[in-house]
Amino acid sequence: MLVQNFGGFTPSLPGIDIRFPSPEHLAHFEIAWSRQARPPLPDDHPDRLGLICVGTVVEHELRHFHDFLLNRDMLLTSWLRRRMSLNALPAIIWLMKSEAFDVIPYPVIDWAKLPERARAGRRAELSPILPEKRRRFWNPRMLPARITAPKSAIVDPPRTEAEAEEMIRTGLKAVRGDLATIAPLRYGLDNTPLGQGRFTPRFAYELSALNAQFHSVIKTYGFDEGREFLSMLADQGTTYSRLFIEAMELFTGARRSDAARLEPIHLPRLSAVATWIMTGCAEDGTKGGPATRLATLMDQTRAAWDSVFPDGLSPAALMDHWDEQTGAVPFRQSLERTQKELENHLAAARILFGAFAKEAAHQLEAVSTYDAVLSCRRALIDAVIADPLTYVDPGLWMENLGNWPQCPVHMKFSAGRFGLPRAHFANYPDDTRYNLSSAVPPEHADSHVGDAYLRSFFPSLHDIPSAPVIKHQQINLLFELLVEPESVRPIDAMALRDFAETNWGKTLVQLL
């Protein structure tokens, strides 16, 4: 999440998206990305803060990726969601290709749970907005409220409509089972440090990424621009930015009554918090989740500052102190235990899917992708365990981002009807792939670029292969839309509905 929403990280791929609204934003980003000069930032520029944001999007989104590797809950959720989408893949493909209906209401599980009378009412509401020749709704057998998830969603390819319906039913049952498993990992807390709404893990993730981005603003532009960035976060008023400002003031000591006569605002404390909240493991139970850890530290800091931040402790020593104070598994051991837990998940999946190697080819490909994810995690936690400060301190972390794991990057260009001239990308890496998901007409594909896929921001010894990410992005997002549409950005949802209409003649209609 960026203040002006230039970027986004998708854990289920995993990959980074960046959108550029103009050639000027792209040019500014490229100067910052090159690390060779300070990008020009005129005082009177109408989108000065937008340029600051796009110039530091790399650090924001890469911190999301690295926290994704570090944090047990986010990584496990990602694996379960990918497994869930691939289990449902045959059902999704059949839904798209079936000639028995034209309209698919979604979320598909909500539609499948409705009794016929309720469905008839919804059809009556929706039909007037649809073309007369395209009003045949998918009408599955009603899914009961309580079901037992199947041990496996792998089935032989259906030969009849009846077998296909049963395959979809099995797939939806498996999806509901995985959703129930995932829910506790991402649900968050009722009691929040802000006193309103649900305190989800995303608050913790954004705190860490905004902290990295704030340090990047200072490094890239200067301290005055850093203050500008903080003012923008405070003025913007989103719950995530307000929580970041609240946490910064609390953890750095700015709110203490005696702050003026103590040491200057102490940013390393906030950075230590941002890292420690990501290091819980399964043995920690609910107190291992990032939202719980952040809320706990905020409450304890308000109540007794000195007990949370004893004098003279380094960031790594502070993390050891918080482990002991909260009764958590020491963070170095915790990182190793999570690695073992996730390796066991992949080993079990490899055995299950390996028994159906032909039918489960896509699932086995996902396991292979996550082998690469865990290899990247291994490299990251080895570095963190050996010297925590190299990760905790954003300045040290940013010194050479190529030393850290990397993931694929999808750049999207909305300037002009046909994107940007291809000549602009002459110096991009040779393995960059163009126009994979943009609306650039075929006759302009050789001269213009609407989107570009990079293997990564920086060359690295540890990265996620881009080919599986590219291959599964569209179908993975389609699954997300049909199952949990709230997780898909509106602009992506619109593109996916067009994709289904163009490729399969299916109208996707969201239930409200």
Domain that holds residue 215: 1-408+455-512
Total domains present in the chain:
2
- Cα gap 146→166, rounded to integer Å: 17
Which has the closest alpha carbon to 244: 254, 235, 234, 253? 234
- Cα gap 77→70, rounded to integer Å: 13
In terms of domains, do 284 and 424 share one? no
Lowest pLDDT segment from 4-13, 352-361, 447-456, 502-511: 352-361
In terms of domains, do 379 and 425 share one? no
Lowest pLDDT segment from 365-369, 397-401, 484-488: 365-369
The pLDDT value given to residue 154: 52
In terms of domains, do 395 and 247 share one? yes
Give the model's confidence band at 258: pLDDT under 50 very low, under 70 low, under 90 confident, else very high.
Answer: low
Q: Spell out the residues 6+ positions from residue 477 whose beta carbon is closer than 8 angstroms to its own.
A: 488, 492, 496
Question: In the predicted model, is pLDDT for residue 195 greater than 60?
Answer: no
Mean pLDDT of 15-26: 92
Give the model's confidence band at 18: pLDDT under 50 very low, under 70 low, under 90 confident, else very high.
Answer: very high
Cβ pair 199, 291 in contact under 8 A: yes
Give the model's confidence band at 264: pLDDT under 50 very low, under 70 low, under 90 confident, else very high.
Answer: very low
- Cα gap 86→84, rounded to integer Å: 6
In terms of domains, do 428 and 500 share one? no
Cis peptide before 158 (omega within 30 of 0): no
The pLDDT value given to residue 151: 53
Q: For 465, what's the count of Cα atoms within 13 Å in the CB-facing half-sphere?
A: 13
The pLDDT value given to residue 191: 56
Mean pLDDT of 431-437: 89
Cβ pair 482, 508 in contact under 8 A: yes
Q: For 339, what's the count of Cα atoms within 13 Å in the CB-facing half-sphere?
A: 18
In terms of domains, do 283 and 431 share one? no
The pLDDT value given to residue 188: 66
- Cα gap 354→365, rounded to integer Å: 11
Which has the closest alpha carbon to 474: 102, 96, 22? 96
Mean pLDDT of 193-207: 76
Cβ pair 30, 5 in contact under 8 A: no
How does pLDDT run across 49-88, given as a tens digit for each residue? Answer: 999 999 999 999 999 999 999 999 999 999 888 878 877 7
The pLDDT value given to residue 290: 94
Give percent of the chain with pLDDT exceeding 70.
91
The pLDDT value given to residue 265: 54
What sign results for the dihedral spanned by CA atoms 25, 30, 35, 38?
Answer: negative
Mean pLDDT of 451-455: 93
In terms of domains, do 354 and 476 share one? yes
Give the model's confidence band at 260: pLDDT under 50 very low, under 70 low, under 90 confident, else very high.
Answer: very low
The pLDDT value given to residue 439: 72
In terms of domains, do 414 and 272 share one? no
The larger pLDDT score, comparing residue 380 to residue 95, is at 380
How does pLDDT run across 110-144, given as a tens digit for each residue? Answer: 999 999 999 999 999 999 989 888 899 999 888 87
The pLDDT value given to residue 262: 44
Highest mean pLDDT pick, 9-23, 62-76, 149-163, 400-414 = 62-76
In terms of domains, do 390 and 447 share one? no
Mean pLDDT of 461-481: 84
Tell me how many degrees the CA angle 444-448-450 measures, rounded to the nearest 5: 105
What pTM, to 2 d.p., does this model score? 0.88
In terms of domains, do 87 and 221 share one? yes
Q: Reduced to 3 states, what is the DSSP secondary structure of residue 454?
A: strand
Question: In the predicted model, is pLDDT for residue 417 greater than 70?
Answer: no
In terms of domains, do 351 and 374 share one? yes
b/e code 152-187 from CB counts within 10 Å (16+ = b): ebbbeebeeeeebbebbbbbbbbbbbbbeebeebee
Give the model's confidence band at 297: pLDDT under 50 very low, under 70 low, under 90 confident, else very high.
Answer: very high
In terms of domains, do 392 and 403 share one? yes
In terms of domains, do 330 and 430 share one? no
How does pLDDT run across 298-354, given as a tens digit for each residue? Answer: 999 999 989 999 999 999 999 999 999 999 999 999 999 999 999 999 998 888 878
Residue appearing with tokens 């980074």: 16
Give percent of the chain with pLDDT exceeding 90.
52
Question: In the predicted model, is pLDDT for residue 458 greater than 80?
Answer: yes
Question: In the predicted model, is pLDDT for residue 498 greater than 50?
Answer: yes
The pLDDT value given to residue 224: 93
Mean pLDDT of 177-202: 71
Cis peptide before 11 (omega within 30 of 0): no
The pLDDT value given to residue 45: 85
Mean pLDDT of 216-229: 94
